[in-house]
Amino acid sequence: MPRKRKQKINWAKYEQLRNLPDKKVFLALKNAVYNLPEPYRVHKGGRGRPAYNPKAVTVLILWQFYVNKTDRDYQNYLKSTDWIKQELNLTQIPDRRTLNRYRKKITPEYLSNLNKLILNQINPSKLAADSTGLKTSRKLAAWSVKKGDRDF
């Protein structure tokens, strides 16, 4: 039998294609946030570093919920992904304490408006969910076994 030739793998292209779905979701979130007015007011002037763009920080905060990471893990994640910084035109990534401070400024009304805008962008009548793995009972499986049906 002839031996199979090992194909060269273009790891840069692989990584680019692997991140494609996340980038699409990120861009949809970015477009939704940038179509709304600013989520909070930024004080101009004064001492210290200039404030971050409120819309960019809002996208970062919402993206943290999407990737489901803790503050410290998210900060390391942001440092390791350059495409987020490029998409939001940031020179540096905000610290976790900065994100937490800005998170407190976002109002529930703003999030409600953002939710309505995102739902209008995607057609909610075409959404479907697979519920095969969902249980109808909230009881633990250990308590749902009857006394006579034990296997042990």
Count of domains forming the chain = 1
Domain annotation covers residue 21: yes
Tokens standing for 111? 């999030």
Domain annotation covers residue 83: yes
Confidence at residue 58, expressed as pLDDT on a 0 to 100 scale? 92
3-state secondary structure of 90: coil
Domain annotation covers residue 1: no
| CA-wise closest residue to 19 among 62, 76, 77, 59 | 77
Domain annotation covers residue 109: yes
pTM above 0.85, yes or no: no
Q: Could you read off the pLDDT of 105-144 as tens digits, one per residue?
A: 888 899 888 888 877 776 555 555 555 555 555 555 555 5
List all residues 6 or more positions away from 67 whose beta carbon is below 8 Å from its beta carbon: 22, 74, 77
Q: Could you read off the pLDDT of 36-88 as tens digits, one per residue?
A: 888 887 777 778 777 888 899 999 999 998 888 998 999 999 998 889 999 99
Domain annotation covers residue 105: yes
Domain annotation covers residue 132: no
Query: Which single residue is written with the structure tokens 């009548």?
Result: 125
Domain annotation covers residue 34: yes
Confidence at residue 28, expressed as pLDDT on a 0 to 100 scale? 85
Measure the CA angle with vertex 115, ends 124 and 105; round to 5°: 170
Sign of CA dihedral 50, 55, 57, 58: positive
Domain annotation covers residue 17: yes
Domain span at residue 116? 11-123
